[in-house]
Structures are given as C-alpha cells and as structure tokens.
Amino acid sequence: MSQLLTYDEWMTDLEVKVEKIPRVQAVISNFEVLPRLGKLLADKASTCSDCLMYWQKLQDATQNIDQFFEGGNRYSIEFENVVELIMQHLKVRHHVRPKGYLLSLYTLIGMGVGLLVGVFVAWIFLGGEFKGSVILGWLLGMMLGWFAGVRKENKMRKADQIF
C-alpha cells in the first residue's frame, strides 16, 4: 500500500497515465466513471472506514492503469474486482448508484413487460396477429420504462444517491 493521495493529487496522476491509453480503450473500459467514483470515496472516507479502505484500494488499483492494455491483464483484472467491491459497498451501505444505472434497468424491464403485454394482447384480442402488437408493446414499454427511470434517478439525485 502506498501513501493515500488527496482527490486532486490522484486525479492529476490519473490524467497523466490515461493520456497514454488510446481513447477507444478508455471508453470501452468505462474509465469515465473513475473521477466520480474517486470523488465520492474521497468525500465519504472521513465518515466511513470502509470507504477509506476502498479509496486506498482504488488508488492502488489505478497505479498501473497505463499498463492495462499491454501484455496481460493482471492489473485490469485487479481493477475490475476492486471496482465491483466498491460498487457493492456503495449500493448496500450508502444506497448510492452510478448515473444511468437505474435508467437502463427500468428501460430494460419496461421493454420486457411491454413485449409480454404485446404478445398477450395479440394472442387474446387480435387472433394471433403478433407483429404490430409486439412492436407497439415493446415500444410503449421502453418509453414507460425510460420515463420511470428518469423520474427515479431525478428523485435519487435530489437525495444525493447518484454519482
């Protein structure tokens, strides 16, 4: 374990290392969540001992971020495991979720429910004319799920439960 950095020091160090990574790989690896995740952990580290521990682990896991795509993925596997543990801790202990997570979940559930409703309507009321009913059900379900997800995330954002 190395010395614990402040958020600003960590971000400066991270920006230097990420410059060496191709943009496509950084986007695919979802590195844009790192600044928000680091800020949240740094803020909560003063009141939560687990967040302090995870803040240290995140700093250690990103120490070799510029080597994630070279040779092997020893460092990237360690990083993914640490991020997964951090996300689980934030979800269970602090009831905090990443931006877009609930929106995606609600949209997916809405599409599934809409699809089932479309099949049901076609089977019962339209004598088996599935194509239009299924597409319409899926589309309406997706829209309702999206609106529900936006509403839920806005409510959680006001309660400071979205990062």
Residue 75 and residue 96 in contact, taking contact as beta carbons nearer than 8 Å: no
Place 149 in a pLDDT band, splitting at 50, 70 and 90. very high
What are the tens digits of pLDDT across the range 133-146? 999 999 999 999 99
How many angstroms separate the CA atoms of 61 and 97, rounded?
21
Nearest to 150 by CA among 97, 91, 104: 104
Q: Indicate the DSSP class of residue 71.
A: S
Overall residue count recorded for the chain in this entry: 163
Nearest to 5 by CA among 76, 62, 90, 48: 62
How many angstroms separate the CA atoms of 12 and 2, rounded?
16
Q: Which residue has the higher pLDDT, 28 or 37?
A: 37
How many angstroms separate the CA atoms of 45 and 86, rounded?
12
Q: Which amino acid is at 15?
A: E
Instruction: Enumerate the domain spans of the chain.
Output: 7-93, 101-158
Question: What pLDDT does 43 receive?
Answer: 92
Mean per-residue pLDDT, 44-69 = 86
Q: Which residue has the higher pLDDT, 102 or 5?
A: 102
What are the tens digits of pLDDT across the range 31-56? 778 888 999 999 999 999 999 999 99
Place 21 in a pLDDT band, splitting at 50, 70 and 90. confident
Residue 34 tokens, joined: 């790192």
- List the beta bridge partners of residue 112: none
Q: Which amino acid is at 26?
A: A
Residue 139 tokens, joined: 């589309």
